Amino acid sequence: MLIIGYGFYFLIFIFAIFFQKNKDKKIIFLYLWFFLSLILVYSPLPFARLFIRGLFFPLVLISLNFIRVFFPDERGSFLNFLLVFISLFSTVFITSMRINEAGKTNPWIYQKKEVISAFSFIKNSSFDGVLAGYYLANLIPFFTGKKVYLGHPNQTPDFNARYLKMSKFYQGKLSNQEAKKFLEENKISLISYSDEEKSFGKINRYSFLKKIFSNAVIEIFSF
């Protein structure tokens, strides 16, 4: 997916590696930038995927430079212009996708105002450590500054095991003692209960939980 996503730029980059001779220090620096970022992308660091953002810039500069070196006449200028022009369609496509999602229930792009209201409550709460489903758990740290038990797979240690434990909790498969122990051991003080979490099951069997916030879309519990 990473290779395909860069399209023509990656193909030109490969040609540049093997066919561009006499690379100056600036080009070598760009190569080091690219390959170091690529290594960091697949490193075990919790924020490793963020290094993907550092790949595109050197890749484009290396590609445009190779075209000018390989075609030092007007053809090089034309091909560079053509490559940049074609790339604009990617930006237009992504922007149009975002616009088309307006009014739709895509939790990755737009959240209901009731959910945003719950985020404000969590942010102003003195508690920290939030248990939520996959979608909300990826948004809560940004909107509230609070820690979550489970977030993005690439940024959550033992994601699969944590997801299974989270699922069992919301399914009500734990006893009161087991559920409370699970929350205490993982320093969870707030429990989100929206449509996503309700799809797992019911948590009203946990008698020690008390509702501290609610609206038409989401409830927040504590203990």
Please write the tens of the pLDDT for every residue from 187-204: 999 999 998 899 988 877
Burial class (CB in 10 A: 0-12, 13-18, 19+), 32: exposed
Domain range annotation of the chain: 2-100, 113-222
CA separation for the pair 89, 94 (Å, rounded): 9
> Which is higher by pLDDT, 108 or 165?
165
Asked which of 154-158, 186-190, 213-217 is least confident by mean pLDDT, the reply is 154-158
Q: Find the mean pLDDT for residues 143-166.
A: 90
For the beta carbon of residue 111, count every other beta carbon within 10 angstroms. 20
Of 99, 148, 110, whose CA–CA distance to 128 is shortest? 148
Backbone angles phi, psi at 202, to 5 degrees: -115, 140
pLDDT at residue number 23: 81
pLDDT at residue number 143: 92
